[in-house]
Structure 1
């Protein structure tokens, strides 16, 4: 068994790498790289290896934003393909493990502290499982935690399901996406780039998600309208997850976009917009009331989940 592991959370925008020395529980040497500055993951790994220095007994664990198929991942919102066999040819890793990034997010729950979680909605916690995880970042990811012992996590690509418009405005928004060559999936209406999509739809001006969030925090009416729409759609997809899976262990929200909007979750108006859509039908209110909802505040939950999953796999 390798003593040292590079653990990585590879998203559509950034790559986060750290060094884990077993059997310790904390990672160190954390580095964050902007993907746009590199042609592929190999370049980032080469730089990280130089920064941490030579280590014997070194292996690699990667959580990547895309489906993992036969040791290969095409990152969904980045023109990178990562193949374990290619990495083994270039780097002296004893072992390489690759999982979906939402798979890793689900695994983080066992290492999060109370301070890492903000309660959005109370529930009755009838059962510890299943738990659902939804991350709003560059894209939109969904995963489900079914049990701890043995560790059972179901990753998905649920963010790419069609978005069911419920109003004339939403139908017009989908038509606007189609006009620009985009599919009307949930990811295009609820993600970092969805912020930009909605702002452009309302104003015909193209801003970055960061610019829109900043304007909203400063009280800009149009940016606040976008945030209100995002909260409404977020509530709706949480409703869909709730009635489909019945995750009595809770729905956990994550991703950089939602973490950046933490203050809006604490604002009664925006929280109500979220809950109005979550309680989509009174027919199932009793069921929905039992399901708690939380916001993950830890900045690197994917790296925490990597530790959980790694230890689980090394026991086999």
Structure 2
């Protein structure tokens, strides 16, 4: 189908394995235009975007915004788990767009807030009444771990990037210290992402089986399946460890950013943990902050179950950028 020239935007969500690309009309992603590309099949994002343009009848976009799983500085981004670099020149060359932007993937998720359907938000910790201008916080738990605060200002929404997944693991108990040394011995530095991610769940499983005297490995999908069926007590222990640690880290980030507007967990691993959040004590760990335990009730927590939120965030950011 032919598209109107110089009207629509291209939005893309670049992960470590796949890239999703779509067209957007203002803040609205046109879901029937979403296409997925395997990164291993392409030398870089430029070739992915050109393939997409060809498949969409050489659409002439007015703007392009991409979100990527990696650090972005001054409009230049590098994927953490893939040797791709993206900048504005790449986007202009590939799409001939007049407006271009490069975001960290968590920034894009932050720009999507307010545009996510209520049925795609699952409440884990009740969200109190708050000002529409209250700060919010997006925490991504998937292939990696990261977070981004979301601020509403007089000149528009600000979503600064971060790389907090590479900060040190927190230590709360003797077991936490043994876990930290276990990760450190294997990987050289005990980062949050080394446990709060898909591969991190596998490390949690290796840790609990080693502690039990029968060390073994298990893939993340198999751990979640065994936890659901109850066929492997080590799997349940690993998931419980994961949920408790996620609560601790999310609580720490909440005290840093004071998100009175709520905390939003995104990513495939966060969604997979949803059935176990209550059973395995996420809220208790989240609020376990000594004399500030009661204060933690100001920060509700929800899981975002919208697969296209990053694309929506790109569309929203670009729409606002062009209107200023």
TM-score, L = length of structure 1: 0.90
Among 210, 213, 234, the alignment partner of 1:222 is: 234
Q: SS at the partner of 2:293?
A: helix
Match of 2:249 among 237, 247, 251: 237
SS of equivalent to 2:317: helix
Unaligned runs of 5+ in 2: 210-214
Correspondence for 1:300 among 301, 308, 320: 308
Cα distance between partner residues in 2 of 1:260 and 1:213: 8
Distance 1:258 1:23, change over 3 A: closer
Matched, 1:193 2:204: no
Deviation at 1:173, TM superposition (A): 2.5
Matched, 1:260 2:272: yes
Structure 1 unaligned residues grouped into runs of 5+: none
CA deviation vs aligned residue, 1:205-239 (integer Å, no higher than 9, x gap): 33332232222222232221111111101110121
SS at match of 2:81: coil
Equivalent residue for 1:121? 125
The equivalent of 1:47 in structure 2 is 51
Measured after TM superposition, the shift of residue 90 of structure 1 is 4.6
> How far, CA to CA, are the matches of 1:2 and 1:211 in structure 2?
47
- How far off its partner does 1:133 sit? 0.8
Q: CA deviation at 1:37?
A: 4.2
- TM-aligned CA deviation for residue 27 of structure 1: 4.2
Shift of 1:3: 1.1
SS at match of 2:149: strand
Question: Separation in 2 of the partners of 1:189 and 1:6?
Answer: 34
Q: Give the aligned partner of residue 135 of structure 1.
A: 140
- What is the alpha-carbon root mean square deviation over aligned residues? 2.2
Task: Tell me which residue corresponds to 1:284.
Answer: 292
| Higher deviation after alignment, 198-207 or 231-240 | 198-207
Deviations 1:67-93 (A, max 9, x none): 222331111232322233234345433
Q: Cα offset for 1:245? A: 1.9
SS for the counterpart of 2:238 is: helix
Kept in 2: contact 1:126–1:248 (CA 8 A): yes
Counterpart of 1:107? 111
Tell whether the 8 Å contact from 1:165 to 1:171 is kept in structure 2 after alignment: yes
TM superposition score normalised by structure 2: 0.88
1:199·1:207 contact (CA, 8 Å) conserved in 2?
Answer: yes
CA distance in 2, matches of 1:30, 1:70: 28
Matched, 1:212 2:229: no
